[in-house]
Amino acid sequence: MSERLLIKTPSNILAFVATIAEVEKLALDLSESQRAVLAAHLLGSLPSVLHDEDEGIAEAQRRDAELDANPSSGISLEQLDRQIERRRRS
């Protein structure tokens, strides 16, 4: 993909479009916060790769609904850490 793309503009003038490598180089020259904004915009422009029929998504939605229905069933991060530590020792 190192070839430049030619695009005809409405006035029939050919315009050179930067290659992906050139765009990447320009993007990497941005500050960290500018790259983060650019990355968020690019990711937001893509279609979702997760679908509701995905088993993992369905399970996460089920657990979320369960927690909404019974908030006392949740545990703190500290409790989770202790449970994980106990399982590692077992």
pLDDT tens for 36-81 read 999 999 988 988 766 656 778 888 889 999 999 999 999 999 999 9
Q: What confidence category does residue 1 fall into, taking pLDDT thresholds of 50, 70 and 90?
A: very low
Single-letter code of the amino acid located at 16? F
Output phi, psi for 6, to 5 deg: -105, 130
| Cβ neighbours of 19 (radius 10 Å) | 14
**Model confidence pTM above 0.85:** no
Contact 4, 17 (CB under 8 A): yes
Instruction: Encode pLDDT of 37-49 as tens digits.
Output: 999 999 889 887 6
Amino acid code (one letter) for 89? R
The first and second tokens of residue 78, run together, are 């500290």
